[in-house]
C-alpha cells in the first residue's frame, strides 16, 4: 500500500518539531527515515500512525484514501516501538495472538496465522516463554510477529535494532531484508544509524531539525548529497571538507585552497556559480589515495600532508592527516600502502566524484 504525507507539521509547546513534510512512499518500498537524535523521527511515525495530532494543513493518505481523521486502529498500520513494548506477563504465543483474540478472530484461524508467522520469523521454539527469558533479537522478532499477524498495509518501525549488539544487528538486517522481499510490504523504518540506512533502504529520507533534507536512493544520498549536512551525516569515516574558492586555471575549473588548485573540471554544476565563489569541496575518504597509480591526472591532485593518526580497519587503514589547518582522512588499501605516524607524505585527492557546496548556504552547487 502506498503512503502519502502532505504538508505535515507538528508543534509541541508552540515549537515546530516537524515542518511541512511532503513525502510519497510507493507500495512495497523500504523507506528509511534517517536523522540525528531529536530531529523528529519518532514524532513523524506517531503522526502517521495517528498517535499524535497534526497541524490542520497536514494530510495523510494510505492508498489514496485520506486517513487524517481516522483513529489509529482504523489505519491498518502496525508499529514496532523502539522498546518493543511486549506484555511481560504473557507468553510469546499470547503476546502475538492477543490482538487477534481481542478482535474476535476465530481460534482455528488464529492458530493458522500464528504458525505461519512464527515459522517465517523462526521463533517456533519460543512460544511458551515469557519476554524476560528472550534475547534482544528474539524479543525484536516477537515484536515484529505481533505487528505482522494483523497483516497491516504499512509497517512502521522505530529504531527496532538499537538495543542489539553489532553482530545480532547485522543478522537482523539480513533477516529484515529477506522478510521484506518475501512479504513485499511497505515499510517505514526509523534509524539514526547510517549503515543501517545504506544497507536496508530502497529509499532514504534524511531529516534534520524537523526539516526534510533529501529523498533518494542510498547511492543518491551518498554520491550526490544536496547539502553539507547530508554529506557529513552519511558515510563513515565522514566526507572530507576543504574550504576554498572557485577559480579558472588553464580554462579549467578548480577549487583553490591553501595555494593549490584541486581539479574539478568534470563536476556537473546544478547552476553555474561565478569565479571567486567561496565553496566547500567535499571528497570521500575512499577517493584519497597513497599513490597516483593509473588514476586520471586531470582530476587528481597530489598534496603534501602530515600523518597525525592511523586507524586499522582490517582490510583498509584510515589515515588521518593535516593539510595546513584542514583535517583530511584517506582510506588506503592496507597491503599496498603503508603510511607512518608523524611522517610528511604526499596523498592523491581524486576529484572526479566530489561534491561542491556553497560556503554561505552549504547547499550543493
Write 360-363 long-range contacts (CB < 8 A, 24+).
360/278, 361/227, 362/227, 362/228, 362/229, 362/280, 363/226, 363/227
Q: 341 touches which of ligand ADP, Mg ion, none (CB within 5 to 8 A by kind)?
A: none
Length of the chain: 365
- Asked whether the beta carbons of 280 and 295 are under 8 A apart, the reply is no
Beta-carbon contacts of residue 149 (< 8 Å; ≥ 6 apart): 96, 97, 99, 100, 113, 114, 117
Q: 39 touches which of Mg ion, ligand ADP, none (CB within 5 to 8 A by kind)?
A: ligand ADP
| Cα dihedral 18, 24, 28, 33 in deg (nearest 10) | -30
Contacts with ligand ADP in 220-249 (CB under 6 A)?
none
- Candidate list 43, 213, 214, 256; residue touching ligand ADP; CB under 6 A: 43
Closer CB to ligand ADP, 191 or 287, in the complex: 191
Contact call for residue 17 and ligand ADP (CB under 6 A): yes
Q: How far is the CB of 171 from ligand ADP (least distance, A)?
A: 24
Q: Taking contact as CB under 6 A, which single stretch among the options 30-38, 148-156, 320-328, 343-351 is the one that binds ligand ADP?
A: 30-38
Contact call for residue 312 and ligand ADP (CB under 6 A): no
Q: How far is the CB of 317 from Mg ion (least distance, A)?
A: 35
Closer CB to ligand ADP, 190 or 283, in the complex: 190
Closer CB to ligand ADP, 53 or 308, in the complex: 53
Write 264-269 long-range contacts (CB < 8 A, 24+).
264/299, 264/351, 264/354, 264/356, 265/298, 265/299, 266/299, 266/351, 266/352, 267/351, 267/354, 267/356, 269/356, 269/365
Q: How far is the CB of 176 from ligand ADP (least distance, A)?
A: 19
Q: Taking contact as CB under 6 A, which single stretch among the options 9-17, 224-232, 235-243, 349-357 is the one that binds ligand ADP?
A: 9-17
Q: How far is the CB of 42 from Mg ion (least distance, A)?
A: 3
Contact call for residue 47 and ligand ADP (CB under 6 A): no
Contact call for residue 256 and ligand ADP (CB under 6 A): no
DSSP 147-200: HHTT--SEEEEESTTTTS-HHHHHHHHHHHHHHHHHH--EEEEEES-HHHHHHH
- Asked whether the beta carbons of 139 and 87 are under 8 A apart, the reply is no
Q: How far is the CB of 147 from ligand ADP (least distance, A)?
A: 19
Give the C-alpha distances (Å, rounded to integers) separating 211 from 53, 59, 216: 18, 17, 15
Instruction: Map residues 25-54 to x or -, x wherever contact with Mg ion holds by CB under 5 A.
Output: -----------------x------------
Give the C-alpha distances (Å, rounded to integers) separating 96 from 81, 83, 106, 139, 198: 15, 16, 15, 11, 30
Closer CB to ligand ADP, 38 or 276, in the complex: 38
Contact call for residue 42 and ligand ADP (CB under 6 A): yes
Q: How far is the CB of 39 from ligand ADP (least distance, A)?
A: 4
Contact call for residue 41 and ligand ADP (CB under 6 A): yes
Q: How far is the CB of 236 from ligand ADP (least distance, A)?
A: 19
By CB under 6 A, name the binding residues for ligand ADP.
12-13, 17, 35, 37-43
Amino acid at each position: 500500500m502506498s503512503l502519502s504525507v502532505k504538508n505535515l507539521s507538528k508543534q509541541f509547546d508552540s515549537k515546530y518539531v516537524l515542518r511541512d513534510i511532503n513525502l510519497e512512499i510507493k507500495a512495497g518500498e523500504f523507506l528509511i527515515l534517517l536523522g540525528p537524535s531529536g530531529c523528529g523521527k519518532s514524532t513523524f511515525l506517531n503522526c502517521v500512525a495517528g498517535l499524535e495530532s497534526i497541524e490542520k494543513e497536514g494530510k495523510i493518505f494510505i492508498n489514496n484514501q485520506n486517513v487524517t481523521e481516522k483513529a489509529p486502529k482504523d489505519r491498518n498500520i502496525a508499529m514496532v516501538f523502539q522498546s518493543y513494548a511486549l506484555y511481560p506477563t504473557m507468553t510469546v504465543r499470547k503476546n502475538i495472538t492477543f490482538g487477534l483474540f481481542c478482535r474476535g478472530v476465530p481460534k482455528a484461524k488464529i492458530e493458522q496465522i500464528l504458525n505461519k508467522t512464527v515459522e517465517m520469523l523462526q521463533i517456533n521454539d519460543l512460544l511458551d516463554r515469557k519476554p524476560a527469558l528472550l534475547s534482544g533479537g528474539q524479543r525484536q522478532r516477537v515484536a515484529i510477529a505481533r505487528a505482522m499477524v494483523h497483516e497491516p498495509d504499512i509497517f512502521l518501525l522505530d529504531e527496532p535494532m538499537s538495543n542489539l549488539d553489532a553482530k545480532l544487528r547485522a543478522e537482523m538486517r539480513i533477516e529484515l531484508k529477506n522478510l521484506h522481499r518475501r512479504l513485499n510490504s511497505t515499510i517505514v523504518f526509523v534509524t539514526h544509524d547510517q549503515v543501517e540506512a545504506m544497507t536496508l533502504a530502497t529509499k532514504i529520507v534524511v531529516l534534520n531539525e524537523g526539516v526534510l533534507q533529501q529523498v533518494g536512493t542510498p547511492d543518491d544520498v551518498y554520491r550526490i548529497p544536496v547539502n553539507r549536512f547530508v554529506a557529513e551525516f552519511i558515510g563513515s569515516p565522514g566526507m572530507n571538507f576543504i574550504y576554498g574558492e572557485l577559480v579558472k586555471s588553464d580554462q579549467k575549473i578548480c577549487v583553490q585552497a591553501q595555494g593549490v588548485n584541486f581539479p574539478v573540471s568534470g563536476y556537473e554544476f546544478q547552476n553555474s556559480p561565478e569565479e571567486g565563489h567561496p565553496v566547500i569541496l567535499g571528497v570521500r575518504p575512499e577517493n584519497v589515495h597513497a599513490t597516483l597509480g593509473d588514476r586520471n591526472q586531470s582530476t587528481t591532485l597530489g598534496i603534501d600532508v602530515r600523518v597525525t593518526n592511523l586507524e586499522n580497519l582490517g582490510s583498509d587503514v584510515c589515515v588521518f592527516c593535516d593539510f595546513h589547518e584542514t583535517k583530511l582522512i584517506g582510506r588506503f588499501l592496507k597491503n599496498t600502502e603503508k603510511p607512518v605516524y608523524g611522517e610528511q607524505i604526499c596523498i592523491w585527492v581524486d576529484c572526479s566524484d566530489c561534491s561542491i557546496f556553497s560556503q554561505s548556504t552549504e547547499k550543493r552547487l
